[in-house]
């Protein structure tokens, strides 16, 4: 999937400082996007998350070999991600791409994703929150099977746009507002499982081949323009890595058991280590280092009321 090129900021400081036009943007619907994927796209996505190590492990080959391929549920962000860039074309959303960061992410799945898919994705601006010096724009997308018109996955993207605040409080007051139901707090005890996930130095260069070609993940000069010392890893890459760690360790590798997935806070740059829970099917947790503080991700099993597993990454 090809994304539009990066948009440069205006040379006019007054234009650059203009806040988002909330009246125009909140509740706006985007044009539907048609898309498709094949086993090759799925494998490339999994490789971008670091799958395939060890390369002869049957559990890893299930992510990387077409002969027995399964689809990690977080692949559901791929057909929907271009909508983030379409959002920037809306009237009242003239923002600098280098100031856009991925904030929170939540997805709800209606069943296992197919290895080969033809889909249509619709989107709407569900909420806008004034963060003072920044704006948080919540974009909801619905991806449907093009043949049956049945929903496959609903995503909520939260885009953190620096320098675009100052428009006043509309946090949840517009007709496009929607609040995700909270996940229960993790139990006050040690986790059943700890996992370290390691990234490759070129991880962002691999992951961007799945569609997110924002130069902030590859071009050092563009990254510096956005205030970073070097290109940064995609938040949706770590998002997928966290889910893979939970599926492999707490769900016995069964991708079909995931019904909902939402990190409560950004999981950071993950590192992976193969540990198994002491009790099969028990809640699995992974702690981040004390230096960073706890960061949790909730995974809710399909047809299960509570979170089956929580992950906090180092």
Three-state DSSP at 159 gives strand
Q: How far is CA 298 from the centre of its chain?
A: 13
For residue 7, tell me if it sits in a domain. Answer: no
For residues 155, 176, 297, 118, the Cα torsion angle rounded to the nearest 10 degrees is 0
- Minimal CA–CA distance to 153: which of 185, 184, 113? 113
pLDDT of residue 289: 27
When pLDDT is averaged across residues 2-14 and rounded to a whole number, the result is 36
Residue 234 lies in a domain: yes
Active-site residue 217, yes or no? yes
| pLDDT on residue 10 | 37
Whether residue 237 has pLDDT greater than 60: yes
pLDDT for position 312: 42
User: In this predicted structure, what is the pLDDT of residue 193?
Assistant: 77
Average pLDDT, the chain: 78
Yes or no: say if 249 and 195 are a contact pair by the CB < 8 Å rule.
yes
Mean pLDDT of 69-92: 95
User: Is 232 inside any structural domain?
Assistant: yes
Residue 118 binned pLDDT confidence (cut-offs 50, 70, 90): very high
Q: What is the pLDDT of residue 94?
A: 82
Q: Which helix (H) or strand (E) holds 302?
A: none
Question: Which residue range forms the structural domain that includes residue 154?
Answer: 18-171+183-311
Q: Is residue 152 part of a domain?
A: yes
Name the active-site residue from 46, 217, 234, 296. 217
Torsion of CA 169, 170, 171, 176, to 10 degrees: -170
Top-confidence range, 83-97, 137-151, 179-193, 230-244: 137-151
| Region label for 303, one of left (φ > 0), alpha (ψ between -120 and 50) or beta (otherwise) | left
Q: Is the pLDDT of residue 288 over 90?
A: no
Kindly report the CATH number assigned to the domain that includes residue 229: 3.10.129.10
Q: What percent of the chain has pLDDT over 70?
A: 72
Tally of residues, the chain: 314
Report residue 302's pLDDT band, with 50, 70 and 90 as the boundaries.
Answer: low
Q: What is the pLDDT, as a whole number, of residue 195?
A: 81
For the chain, the straight-line distance linking the first and the last C-alpha, in angstroms and rounded, comes to 31
Q: Exactly one of 212, 234, 248, 296 is catalytic; which is it?
A: 212
- Per DSSP (E only), the strands in 24-90 are 29-37
CB 298 within 8 A of CB 182: no
Nearest Cα neighbor of 1 from 66, 94, 71, 77 is 77
Please state the rounded mean pLDDT for residues 297-312.
Answer: 51
Residues 6+ apart with CB under 8 A from 194: 273, 275, 285, 286, 287
> How confident is the model over 146-171, as a mean pLDDT?
87
Which pLDDT belongs to residue 167? 78
pTM for the model: 0.77
| Distance (Å, whole) CA 237 – CA 234 | 5
- The pLDDT score that the predictor gives to residue 268 is 38
Question: pLDDT at position 196, please?
Answer: 80
Q: Is 46 a catalytic residue?
A: no
Residue 230 lies in a domain: yes
Residue 126 pLDDT > 90: yes
Distance CA 16, CA 232 (A): 23
Q: What residues does 307 pair with on adjacent strands?
A: 300
Element (H, E) at 301: strand 297-301
pLDDT of 276 above 70: no
Residue 135 φ/ψ, nearest 5 degrees: -120, 140
Sheet with 117-130: strands ordered across: 29-37, 117-130, 134-145, 151-162, 100-109, 258-263, 297-301, 307-311
Strand partners, 261: 107, 299
Asked whether the bond before 54 is cis by omega within 30 degrees of 0, the reply is yes
Confidence at residue 300, expressed as pLDDT on a 0 to 100 scale: 61
Residue 156 φ then ψ, to 5°: -120, 115
Asked if residue 8 is part of any domain, the answer here is: no
Contact by Cβ (8 Å): 99, 164: yes
* Domains of the chain: total: 1
Given a cut of 50, is residue 298 above it in pLDDT?
yes
pLDDT of residue 272: 30
In a domain, 12, yes or no: no
- Does residue 249 belong to any structural domain of this protein? yes
Residue 311 CA from chain centroid, whole number:
15
The answer on pLDDT for 280 being more than 70 is no
């Amino acid at each position: 999937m090809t994304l539009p090129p990066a948009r440069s900021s205006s040379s006019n400081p007054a234009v650059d400082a203009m806040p988002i036009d909330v009246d125009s943007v909140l509740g706006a619907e985007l044009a539907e996007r048609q898309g498709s994927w094949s086993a090759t796209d799925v494998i490339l996505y999994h490789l971008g998350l670091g799958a395939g190590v060890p390369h002869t492990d049957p559990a890893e080959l299930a992510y990387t070999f077409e002969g027995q391929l399964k689809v990690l549920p977080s692949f559901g962000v791929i057909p929907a991600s271009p909508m983030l860039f379409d959002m920037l074309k809306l009237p009242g959303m003239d923002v600098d791409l280098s100031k856009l960061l991925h904030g929170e992410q939540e997805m709800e799945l209606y069943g296992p994703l197919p290895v080969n898919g033809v889909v249509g994705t619709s989107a709407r601006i569900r909420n806008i929150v004034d963060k003072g010096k920044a704006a948080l724009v919540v974009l909801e997308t619905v991806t449907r099977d093009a043949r049956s018109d049945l929903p496959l996955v609903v995503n909520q993207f939260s885009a953190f746009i620096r320098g675009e605040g100052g428009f006043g409080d509309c946090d949840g007051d517009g007709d496009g507002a929607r609040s995700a139901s909270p996940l229960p707090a993790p139990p006050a005890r040690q986790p059943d499982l700890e996992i370290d996930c390691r990234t490759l130095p070129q991880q962002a260069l691999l992951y961007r081949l799945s569609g997110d070609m924002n130069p902030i993940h590859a071009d050092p000069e563009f990254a510096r323009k956005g205030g970073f010392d070097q290109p940064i890893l995609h938040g949706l890459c770590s998002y997928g890595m966290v889910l893979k760690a939970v599926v492999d360790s707490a769900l016995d590798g069964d991708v079909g058991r995931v019904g909902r997935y939402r990190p409560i806070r950004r999981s950071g740059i993950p590192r992976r280590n193969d540990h198994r829970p002491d009790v099969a099917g028990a809640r699995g947790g992974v702690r981040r280092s004390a230096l960073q503080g706890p960061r949790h991700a909730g995974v809710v099993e399909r047809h299960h009321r509570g979170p089956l597993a929580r992950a906090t990454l180092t």
